[in-house]
């Protein structure tokens, strides 16, 4: 027998269990049954796909209660675990993001339950009700069993067990019942039945106690919606998603005829913590005629809907279909198209039927959904329809402080007379974008501007040509002509020609052009990108991803009504070779860069030039 230590994070999670931060302790049984059910699915699959030799004719879960010894055993004849797997799967928490969650958990008590709901606690939840847990397991296809035991403190023991049957048996040694602490008598027949019925009724294998089968085993997705209670849907959602909060929306689908399938989809209420992790699993499980085939089915949903959870049960696929074949299967592609349409349509309905719900959805998943705009397929319009954005016209809600958002349709309905384009500005934060000099003329003349601050916004705006015939136009790119100030400005162009030529030469390294601006009212200068050039934010993103590209030069625009610019022109006229001029040009450029939140190439030099100038004025 060997005594081993739990990994540090596992120890912390166990601590939380032992000191019971959950009020609902009943769920430990659900977790054990859920694991057993997964193990049965895995065995069936190993036989089907990998040709493992094992008997799958009587897959089941047994619950045994010993009232005298006060133990409860959940036994399955599923895949089982090897010694290494027990150490790896039970002794450690491999899930990404767990360390981070645990840290947050320690920091905030109030939010604890919310937070911990983001990752299932699984097997460890047994320590809410037990002072000792024994796990005896034997992997299908191996000769020897393993016996694992722990009191939930820092260590566990592990030993060989020659008698173990294929599968896994988990025995919890119950602590004394304490109903005040919601620690019920879990060896009582009635309590066990109640929990199974409530949480695990839909499990597709028989859950037996003695001769009785406790669950109905009815596939939830195959039942008409009117016959399934909200509670049942919620439990099923928890089973497949490991998310403890309720789903935001439940979607049923059924298709008959040439391609038969049933689907039960869920939109979660909250984004999982690994939403943006590269290899985070997708949320759909594939079944074929009620038999679990695989989870994480990326073929059934595009990446931008990877957060959708649920089950798709297809009738016309082979049971031992592989992922490779799935990718090319016509049925799957057709099903996927329908699922996407349905999800988008559901969100569209939500916008009119329950605005608050839609807001929650968009706040949690908008950033992901917008990734769908990058592929210019026929869903682009539908995605734009359900997208909403911060805007200069929509401030924050005075009461809730919640940021108001607008749809593109809403924006268009408010467009000014003669306005042809949808104006937007991208950047890293709302404050930065709102206060950017580019905004000045637009604000002064009452044009609404969309404030796009998600990283993905930098990219999709280039993939979307227009919405409803209205082009999307960045106010920091290309020339701007708001059409109202051109006449007065015309004479200025000539007066400034010399200065502009001079500055173009002096700032040759930094910018590709210098011109007068139509967008500034108060700032002296700003930088804009050429219509087809990459924006600096996008450049930064590529650099962050390790792709070093050439630096794209931008255009410096000057405000001809600003005293700094008029002064500079006068100085240049008087003494074109004044050595202070190039420095002023550099300062002007640097200030424009800072004002939009950009990074100076040589901040120390900028600071020195500025300090020298200031020194002369004090």
Ligand X SMILES: Nc1ncnc2c1ncn2[C@@H]1O[C@H](COP(=O)(O)OP(=O)(O)OP(=O)(O)O)[C@@H](O)[C@H]1O
Contact footprint for ligand X (CB under 6 A): 31, 35-36, 39, 76, 78-81, 89-90, 120-123, 168, 242
Closest distance to ligand X from the beta carbon of 43 (Å): 9
360 marked as part of a ligand binding site: no
Q: How far apart are CA 112 and CA 110, in angstroms?
A: 6
Closest distance to ligand X from the beta carbon of 545 (Å): 31
Measured from the CB atom, the residue of 120 and 590 that comes closer to ligand X is 120
Eight-class DSSP state of 59 = -
Q: How far apart are CA 131 and CA 315, in angstroms?
A: 46
Q: How far apart are CA 131 and CA 123, in angstroms?
A: 14
Q: Are 596 and 432 in contact (CB under 8 A)?
A: yes
Measured from the CB atom, the residue of 80 and 366 that comes closer to ligand X is 80
Q: How far apart are CA 517 and CA 479, in angstroms?
A: 9
168 marked as part of a ligand binding site: yes
Eight-class DSSP state of 125 = G
118 marked as part of a ligand binding site: yes
Three-class DSSP labels, 270-305: CCCCCCCCCCCCCCEEEEECCEEEECCCHHHCCHHH
Q: How far apart are CA 528 and CA 144, in angstroms?
A: 70
119 marked as part of a ligand binding site: yes
Q: Are 430 and 394 in contact (CB under 8 A)?
A: no
Closest distance to ligand X from the beta carbon of 100 (Å): 16
Q: Are 583 and 609 in contact (CB under 8 A)?
A: yes
Q: Considering only CA atoms, which of 155, 167, 143, 129 is closest in space to residue 22?
A: 129
Measured from the CB atom, the residue of 168 and 387 that comes closer to ligand X is 168
Closest distance to ligand X from the beta carbon of 170 (Å): 6
Place of tokens 């450049």: 539
Q: Considering only CA atoms, which of 176, 203, 173 is closest in space to residue 62?
A: 203
Q: How far apart are CA 238 and CA 254, in angstroms?
A: 22
323 marked as part of a ligand binding site: yes
Closest distance to ligand X from the beta carbon of 116 (Å): 11
Measured from the CB atom, the residue of 98 and 474 that comes closer to ligand X is 98
Measured from the CB atom, the residue of 88 and 189 that comes closer to ligand X is 88
Closest distance to ligand X from the beta carbon of 313 (Å): 22
Q: How far apart are CA 438 and CA 428, in angstroms?
A: 15
CA distances from residue 120 to 18, 171, 272 in whole angstroms, order as listed:
16, 20, 12
Query: In this structure, what are the phi and psi dihedrals at residue 200, rounded to the nearest 5 degrees?
Result: -130, 20
Measured from the CB atom, the residue of 88 and 573 that comes closer to ligand X is 88
510 marked as part of a ligand binding site: no
Scored b (16 or more CB within 10 A) or e, 479-496 reads ebebeeeeeeeeebeeeb
120 marked as part of a ligand binding site: yes
Closest distance to ligand X from the beta carbon of 46 (Å): 12
462: left (phi over 0), alpha (psi -120 to 50) or beta: alpha
Measured from the CB atom, the residue of 209 and 412 that comes closer to ligand X is 209
Measured from the CB atom, the residue of 283 and 372 that comes closer to ligand X is 283
Closest distance to ligand X from the beta carbon of 115 (Å): 14
Q: Are 592 and 585 in contact (CB under 8 A)?
A: no
379 marked as part of a ligand binding site: no
Closest distance to ligand X from the beta carbon of 406 (Å): 38
Query: In this structure, what are the phi and psi dihedrals at residue 2, rounded to the nearest 5 degrees?
Result: -125, 140
DSSP β-bridge partners for residue 448? none
Measured from the CB atom, the residue of 116 and 317 that comes closer to ligand X is 116
117 marked as part of a ligand binding site: no
Which residues are part of a known binding site for ATP? 31, 35, 76, 81, 95-97, 118-123, 168, 323
Binding-site entries = 31, 35, 76, 81, 95-97, 118-123, 168, 323
């Amino acid at each position: 027998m060997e005594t081993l230590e739990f990994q540090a994070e596992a120890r912390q999670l166990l601590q939380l269990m032992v000191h019971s931060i959950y009020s609902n302790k009943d769920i430990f049984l659900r977790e054990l049954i859920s694991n057993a059910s997964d193990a049965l699915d895995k065995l069936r699959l190993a036989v089907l796909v990998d040709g493992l030799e094992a008997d799958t004719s009587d897959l089941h879960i047994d619950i045994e209660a010993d009232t005298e010894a006060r133990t409860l055993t959940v036994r399955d004849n599923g895949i089982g675990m090897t010694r290494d797997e027990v150490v790896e799967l039970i002794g450690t928490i491999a899930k990404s993001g767990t360390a981070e969650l645990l840290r947050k958990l320690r920091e905030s008590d109030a939010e604890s339950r919310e937070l911990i709901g983001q990752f299932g606690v699984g097997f460890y939840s047994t320590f809410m009700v037990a002072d000792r847990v024994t796990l005896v397991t034997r992997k299908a296809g191996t000769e020897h069993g393993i016996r694992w035991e722990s009191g939930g403190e820092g260590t566990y023991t592990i030993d060989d067990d020659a008698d173990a049957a294929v599968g896994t048996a988990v025995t919890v040694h119950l602590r004394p019942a304490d109903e005040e602490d919601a620690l019920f008598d879990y060896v009582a027949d009635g309590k066990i039945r109640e929990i199974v019925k409530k949480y695990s009724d839909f499990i597709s294998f028989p859950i037996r106690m003695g001769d009785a089968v406790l669950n109905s085993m009815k596939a939830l997705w195959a039942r008409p919606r009117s016959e399934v209670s909200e509670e049942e849907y919620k439990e099923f959602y928890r089973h497949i998603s490991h998310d403890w909060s309720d789903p935001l929306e439940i979607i049923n689908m059924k298709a008959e005829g040439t391609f038969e399938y049933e689907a039960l989809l869920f939109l979660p209420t909250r984004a999982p913590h690994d939403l943006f992790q590269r290899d985070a699993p997708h949320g759909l499980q594939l079944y074929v005629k009620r038999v679990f085939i695989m989870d994480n089915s990326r073929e059934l949903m595009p990446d931008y809907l990877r957060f959708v959870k649920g089950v798709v049960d297809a009738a016309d696929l082979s049971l031992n279909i592989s992922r490779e074949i799935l990718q090319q299967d016509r049925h799957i592609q057709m099903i996927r198209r329908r699922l996407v349409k349905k999800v988008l349509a559901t969100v569209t309905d939500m916008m009119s039927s329950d605005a608050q719900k839609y807001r929650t959805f968009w706040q949690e998943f908008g950033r992901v959904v917008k990734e769908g705009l990058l592929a210019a397929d026929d869903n682009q319009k539908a995605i734009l329809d359900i997208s909403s954005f911060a805007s200069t016209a929509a401030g924050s809600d005075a009461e809730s402080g919640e940021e108001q958002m607008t749809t593109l349709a809403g924006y268009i309905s408010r467009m000014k007379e003669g306005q042809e384009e949808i104006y937007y500005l991208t950047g890293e934060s709302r404050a930065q974008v709102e206060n950017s000099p580019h905004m000045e003329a637009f604000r002064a003349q009452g044009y609404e501007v969309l404030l796009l601050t998600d990283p993905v916004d930098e990219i999709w705006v280039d993939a979307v040509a227009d919405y409803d015939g209205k082009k999307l136009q960045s106010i920091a790119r290309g020339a701007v002509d708001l059409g109202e100030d051109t006449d007065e400005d015309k004479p200025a162009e000539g007066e400034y020609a010399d200065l502009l030529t001079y500055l173009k030469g002096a700032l040759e390294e930094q910018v590709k052009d210098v011109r007068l601006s139509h967008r500034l009212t108060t700032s002296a200068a700003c930088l804009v990108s050429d219509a087809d050039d990459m924006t600096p934010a996008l450049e930064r993103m590529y650099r962050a991803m390790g792709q070093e590209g050439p630096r794209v030069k931008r255009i410096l625009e000057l405000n001809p009504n600003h005293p700094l610019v008029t002064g500079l022109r006068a100085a240049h006229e008087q003494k074109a070779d004044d050595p202070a001029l190039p420095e002023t040009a550099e300062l002007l450029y640097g200030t424009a860069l800072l004002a939009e939140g950009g990074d100076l190439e040589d901040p120390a030099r900028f600071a020195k030039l500025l300090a020298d100038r200031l020194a002369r004025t004090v």
